[in-house]
Every structure is written in structure tokens, then in C-alpha cells.
Amino acid sequence: MRGYVTAYDAQTGKQVWRFYTTPNPDNKPDNAASDQILMSKAYETWGDGWWKKTGGGGTAWDALVFDRDNNQLLIGTGNGSPWAHKARNGNGGGRGDNLFLSSVVAVDADTGIYKWHYQETPGEEWDFTAVQPIMLAELNVKGKTRKVLIHAPKNGFLYVIDRSNGELISAKPFTKVNWAAGIDLDTGRPIEYPEARYSESGLDFMAEPAAFGSHNWHPMSFSPKTQLVYLPIQEIPLGYKTDPNFVYRPGHGIWNLADGSTLPTNLGPQNEPDRIQLSQWTKGALVAWDPVKQKEVWRVQHPTVGAGGILSTAGGLVFQGTPDGVFHAYRADNGLEVWQYKTNNGVVAGAMSYELDGEQYVAILTGFGGANGLNVPYIDGVKTGQGQILVFKLNGSATLPVRQTKLQAATVVPKDQFTDEMVQKGAVNFGNCVFCHGFSAISLGVVPDLRRSPAIADKESFKAIVLGGALESQGMPNMTGRLKEDEVETIRAYLADRARLLDRDDKLRAKAAAN
């Protein structure tokens, strides 16, 4: 896709202005508010690669913030398409910055005309989107009150930026960062390690943070009372390697990654020992951060990733839910837990608060899902059915009915014999299924675990689901036009191989439990 943001008249629906976040591939006007800046400044930062067919990316899929003080809209933009910079830009394009990928862009709220930008990751190639929530605040910086924006995107640095002109005030890593040594405050550019540029080296690079982000879409918060930012962070490394034979495929695909890495973090755990090891590599935390001193004040370490967004209140509390189904309240000044409630389901959403008839309520949406809940195969989350909205107040007296945990289905091991070649091709074709059914076909229970599905034991039943739309009413899309019949059979071969391994691991675990 080619990213853009559009303003519409709220009364009539008529388009008022549009701002494209990547250039026109022919450097022609689009009759949009972005024409002048894209043609005069942005286009020259792009080469002659695949972006001219993919659109370049840069979608603004989360953060849109109105800054009333400056009558401007602040846009957080996404990553590039394809991911690998060299494939996107082309050999003749050099190391162009690819404006306005991974940037905060300010435009006039009335006209959409460009005002300023700050690019957090020039020449982005790690899926380091900058769409994460943007917060407006007033901070005392060196004895002077400044109106700033605070941003903690996927790339692992927390930025404090003057929102009147885009000037970088400070930037420091708030989590583990191995792709850059820091941010040069004179230029505003990251000080990159050469090894991180996998599309130039052609080698595997294990990045942290990576595509899942040190901070993703989960809301962070800022307390004017404590002057602290409260961040939900996650540490998930990912391996990158460019695909030298990459060719753009229009339509459905895994985001045209140009990512040929064979590291285990990409393929997912191949067995139970792998899964246990990867679970140790991934951690989550709630971090209180001082944006002026740019340092951590306190931390609550979580055993796994996928915790929810943050709510901080004037009562000096910070609320967060976790995948194990617990809703927590901490002291905002020191992180001490003062209250918790065990829900019936994992919590990945952010809480909110409201007042009604002079009484304060705190509400949270429970339910384990989202990107992590669907496809990261090493999160220990609580999954007991549909989510619920839970509302709390002081001296509340309601009780939550206990839900029964779903029984785990037995493994169904197909009797069919498949060649190694079919299994290997199926592992590749399973890329069409991985973002719902999980890496290595390990489901966390939000959607069916295909290794335990009776359908994989019968060719016709499996084909009817994947290509016939037999379960379309239950959310399983008809993949006709995306997959061919022989490709579907290779996926069944892959799942059969995964089912045999799961059956082995189940028996080993049962034997251990018996002892």
C-alpha cells in the first residue's frame, strides 16, 4: 500500500484534504495537500526499486493526534514495503532515507499542508513503524517549560520532540536495543551498527527490538502529577535476512517481506525444547520512565510478553492487565502493587476511567487475542472463551461467575504418508496461515490448533474448509484465489508432520506428570 491520511467534512463526508506519506512513483502531482513536499523533498530520498509497485508503505494505522496549541495534526507513519531497504529502494537508489516512512509528520489541520517532520528510522528495514501512540505534554527542560510530544515507537528509543517545529530535544533507549548505539542529537539520526543493515550485508541479523516492537500499539500513559511516562514494553528478538531472489507479488502475501531469515525466531519453535527456549528469550514489563532525565524510575517485570496498555490516574495509580488474566493496580510513584483482580480471561487491552454521578469507575476489556495472542507461540495466557467488559468501583460488590477452562483436544495424527519435499513446501505455504494459526502451527487457543484438528486427517474435509469456505461463517476465510489445490495439500502434509511431533511431546509430558 501507499500510505495516506484524509480529512473529511464531518457533516457531509466530502473530502477536504489528503496527505500521502510516500511519493507518487512517477513523481507526479496527486492533486493532494502533500504534492509540493513530496515532489520537492521526499521523492529524491527514494530509488528505483520495488516501492514503485508496492506503494512504499508508510501507512498511518494508529496514531493521529490533534495538537490544538499549533492547530496541527500529528501523523505517525508506518514501515516500508517491501521490508528490506535494498529491495524497496533498488540498487541504483543508494541509502535513501525514504521519506516519510517511520516518521512523525505535522500538517496543518485545516489544509493538510506540510509543516515539519522528524524521521525516527531513516531507510527503515526492520518493520520499525512509528505509528505508536503520540502523547502531548508540557515538560520543564533545562528550566524552561516546553510543549512537547513524547513518542516511544517500535525501534526502542523514547523521543521528546518540540511540537512547534519538530526539533529533537532528547532520545534514549528504554529497552534493549542492538541495531543502533544511540541517537545523534546534532543530526537527529540513529548511530547504526553496520551489521544491522541486513539487506546490504546479505547476512542474518538478530535484532532486538524487532517487528513486534519494544512498544507496539498498546497505549502508554503520562501523569502530569508524577511527570512520568508509563510504558508497556516487550522484548522479542527476530531474525532478518534479505531474499536475493525477491520478486513483488501483488495481492495477498506476507507483507512482501523480502525477509529470507532462517533463524528460529522467525520459523517459530520446531519442538517443545525450542518453545521453552524461546519463551526464555521473550519478556515483558511495565516501565515508569522520566522523559526529562531520560531514565527508568521503576519497573514491574512480567514473565511473558503481551500485557495490556496503561492507564494512570490522578489518584496516583497505574492500571495494567496481563495475559495470565490478572488486572493490576500499582502506585504511580514507586510501582508497588496495591490491588489485583483475577479475571476469567487474558487481558491485552488498555483500561479506561470515567465518572458517573460523582463516582469514579475503571473499566477493562478482557479477552486474549491480538497479534501476540494469535501467533506468538510461547505466551502463557488465559483463554476461556469470549471476552467481557469488567467495570470496577470502590466498594463494588458484584462477583464474577467462574468460567470453565476449555479441555484440550486430543492430537489427531493423519495416517497419510507425505514426502519430506511436500512437508517442506507446506511449511512455506503455511505462511498464508501463520498470522492466525501461529508460528510453527502452534496455536495459543484463540483460534483452533490445527495440529489437533480432525480435518487434517481427511484430504477432502481439509480442502472443503480451506478452498470451499465450509467454516467461513465461523471466521475461516475461503482461500480460493490465494492457494491452489496442490498447495493446500502440502499444508496438510506440514500439519501432519507437526501433529506427529505434538503427539510425541504430549506423551512425554504425560509420562513426566505421572512421575
Q: What are phi and psi of 491, to 5 degrees?
A: -65, -40
Does the active-site annotation cover 416? no
Task: Give the position of cell 520478486.
Answer: 247
Task: Enumerate residues 6+ apart whose C-beta is below 8 A from 142.
Answer: none
Which pairing describes strands 168-173 and 180-183: parallel, antiparallel, or unpaired?
unpaired
Q: Which amino acid is at 204?
A: D
* Cell output for 221: 500513559
Number of CB atoms found within 10 A of residue 169's CB: 19
Residue 105: what residue type? V
User: What does the CA dihedral 83, 84, 89, 90 come to, rounded to 10 degrees?
Assistant: -140
| CA geometry: angle 322, 323, 324, nearest 5 deg | 90
Cell numbers describing residue 346: 487474558
Q: Distances in Å between the alpha carbon of 318 and those of 125, 350, 389, 500? A: 34, 11, 19, 45
> In 3D, which of 122, 87, 101, 114 has the Cα closest to residue 59?
101
- φ, ψ of residue 183 to 5 degrees: the values are -115, 130
d(CA 311, CA 349): 10
Angstrom distances, CA of residue 333 to CA of 292, 293, 318: 16, 16, 9
The set of residues, in sequence order, having a beta carbon less than 8 Å from that of 336 and lying 6+ positions away, is: 330
The 8-class DSSP code of residue 46 comes to -
8 Å CB contact between 233 and 287: yes
H/E stretch holding 454 reads none
**Cα–chain center distance at 366:** 19
Q: How far is CA 118 from CA 24, 25, 84, 104, in A?
A: 20, 22, 21, 5
Amino acid at 206: M
Of 9, 62, 69, 127, which one is the catalytic site residue?
127
**One-character DSSP codes across 195-245:** GG-HHHH-S-EEESS-TT-SS-SSPPEEETTTTEEEEEEEE--EEE-B-TT
Spatial CB neighbours of 481, under 8 Å, sequence gap ≥ 6: none
Name the residues annotated as catalytic: 127
